[in-house]
Chain A
Amino acid sequence: MRRTIVGISSPRELEEALRAAYYLADEGLSTAAYLALALGKPLLLEGAPGVGKTEAAKAIAGVLGRTLRRLQCYEGIDSAAALYEWNFPRQILALRQQDNASGHVDIYRDEFLIERPMLACLRRPEETVLLIDEIDRSDHEFEAFLLEFLSDYQISIPERGTIRANAPPVVILTSNRTRELHEALRRRCVYHWIEYPAPEREMRIIMMRASGVGERAARAVVAAVGRLRREPLAKHPGIAEAVEWAQAATLLNQQGARWPEAFRRSLGVVLKDEDDLVHVGPRIDAILAEAQI
């Protein structure tokens, strides 16, 4: 347990540091992230797609001044993608080049090892933040393997033996909750469910991320996007979409389009599904009218 991490000794200080890294965290997230860092536990972030889970991990890595090693999960992910792989061409070359005079060549040395994110994080725990992204996409065998990794922070390579982290590394996991994670994995982590941000905060995020956007446009976008998120859509607009919409509409506006028109024409930036566009289409004017304050 460490009270102070890179000069940060409370959730509020972490919140400020994250703001400096252009990430506006709410109290819940900054508390969870601070606790994860202080207790040396992995941080599990769950939430709908587009609420800024991956961004949060990037911002935390930025605050800590560490490199982010990202492992994108997918169905069928295996240890060659997650842990390490042997550099076979180099191994074969080394075998071929050895002659009887020089004798024995060890083809299992470091230089033949290609490290993947999890191994990189074990070898340099003080310099990396490991992001295991969208873990809900992987199979449950990988989840079980991850559980083992997260409890001991060690892996074994048959040809080399066990590699252990000399300090608990910072690990952040994200999940879109398309399926429920195993209870044992949740238990091991500090957990935070990221909600869509409150309107006021989302407005500040938009204005921070998209510099040219005026307050009026940002407010309108937040109201309209909030309304769209209550519609039964296939893909709800995330924060990134809201930022892009504000930017796109502002651009069109600068080129002479009037406000509601600029929003309507750039709708493709927010809704990227034909069914969603058809669903919202007839009512988009009403939604925009409601949003224009």
Chain B
Amino acid sequence: MTDIARPLAHFVAFTAILRRASFAVAPEQTMAWLAAIDLLGPEDMGDIRRAARATLAPPPDRFAEFEALFDAHFLGAVDAARESVPSDEAPLRAAEDSGFGPEPDVDEEARESGAKATRAERLSTRRFAPAAEDATLRRFTRALPASAPRRRGYRWREAHNGHGTDVRRMLRDAMRNVGEFVRLRHRRRRLRPRRIVLLIDISGSMKELTQTHLAFAHALARAADAVEVFTFGTRLTRITRALRLRDRARALSAASLIVADWDGGTRIGEALAAFLAIPRFAALARGAALVVLSDGLERGDPAAMTEAIARISRIAWRTVWLTPLATGSGFRPRTAGLSAARPYLDELGDGRTLDSICTCVLHLAKARAA
């Protein structure tokens, strides 16, 4: 690095700190910031701070964290920058199905004390009993293509009828026919399937339903075009690929090998945060219909869960939570976590039986009533 670049290094180092704290900072943003400091003059720390906020664009809900990192780096407020949030438990991990083999990563867990036994990961492999809900799933699979949520595409396509007249195409035709309009052309916007993202809680408290949920996920993945399925308990696992197998028994056993936290503890907030923290996963939720199958019994701080749901609801087209604890149509959640999250959900529905889940998913495309 040359001498000229040395004063800049201190600024560039800050962006590296931001990235480590999982802020998204692009190189062009760093360059914009340096240009901004050059414009405003590097004398006033207030200017540098405001320029950082304007060009590095931290999301509003993380302003405080951003400011703390800024103070730590430039003002030395805390002697070491908070590179990681202090935590007494193993960070939640996200896994993805690379193939169909089991993931050999059972060793480095279990730093928890015995007092928190339910939170510790009880890693196990699970076998599935043959499902009894065949008929329901068959009906669901048949009904889904007609009622799956769709969105309007951006581009227009030629159509044989419809209300949109494609004057542009007609004019082009007319040019070829010495200015005569020979036939009426129509156009319409193509409908595209909306992605459905399914998040399945597989913690111990959901034990009885897990298998039904996975069978449902398999049916959904087979019937709809764009489906993503994740499981979460003490970690977040993407099982979409395993579920692509046609045969349900094989698909579920492939999924069961990937998922390592069957019937373990519950860290819903962290699992959802992990889902959002991986841009590739979060992008799957963008504009999608997102369905969570969980009882919402959060062991940890419900605030984390509420915040994650609030963020998800801003990304997804529709956020639906189906809980087996629902007691009827006028159900109001009793747990702190779910009642705090309620305002962000488009629907808090009945997830007690396979029938009710199927009905809810079939109605996703219906009016977006709040």
Contact = CB atoms under 8 A, between A and B. Distances in A.
Interface of A: 1, 3, 10-11, 27-28, 31-32, 34-36, 38-39, 41, 44, 46, 76, 78, 86, 88, 91-92, 95-96, 98, 107, 139-142, 145, 177-180, 182-183, 186-193
A230 to B, nearest CB: 16
B324 to A, nearest CB: 29
Contacts of B174: 92, 95
B32 A39 contact: yes
Contact of A88 (B54, B63, B154, B171): B171
Instruction: Bin the interface of chain B by size.
Output: 35 or more
A11 B32 contact: no
Contact of B24 (A39, A44, A183): A183
A187 B29 contact: yes
Given A28-B50, A139-B287, A141-B153, A186 B57 contact: yes
Contacts of A88: 167-168, 171
Nearest to B47: A31
Given A92-B171, A95-B171, A139-B151, 9 more contacts: A11-B40, A31-B51, A32-B50, A38-B36, A78-B156, A95-B174, A180-B59, A180-B311, A190-B55
B314 A86 contact: no
Nearest to A89: B167
Contact of A191 (B46, B53, B286): B53
A189 B57 contact: yes
B179 interface: yes
Contacts of B315: 179-180
A38 B153 CA distance: 37
Interface in B311-351: 311, 314-315
Nearest to A10: B40
Given A141-B154, A177-B60, A31 B50 contact: yes
Given A86-B171, A180-B314, A76 B152 contact: yes
A198 B174 CA distance: 62
B51 to A, nearest CB: 6
A178 B24 contact: no
B175 interface: yes
Nearest to B287: A140
A90 B171 CA distance: 11
B3 interface: no
B63 A35 contact: no
Interface string B155-182: 0100000000001100100110001010
Contacts of B45: none
B39 interface: yes
A108 to B, nearest CB: 9
Given A139-B287, A183-B279, A78 B154 contact: yes
B29 to A, nearest CB: 6
Interface string B166-201: 011001001100010100000001000000000000
Nearest to B179: A95
B55 A188 contact: no
19 contacts: A1-B35, A1-B39, A3-B39, A28-B54, A31-B40, A32-B50, A35-B54, A36-B54, A91-B171, A139-B151, A139-B287, A141-B153, A180-B311, A180-B315, A182-B286, A186-B57, A190-B32, A190-B54, A193-B60
B13 interface: no
A182 B57 CA distance: 12
The 3 closest A-B pairs by CB, nearest first: A141-B154, A191-B57, A32-B54
Contacts of A86: 167-168, 171
Contacts of A31: 40, 47, 50-51, 54
Nearest to B60: A193
Contacts of B26: 187
B105 interface: no
A8 B175 CA distance: 52
Contacts of B175: 95, 107
Contacts of B39: 1, 3, 34-35, 38-39
Interface string B227-251: 0000000000000000000000000
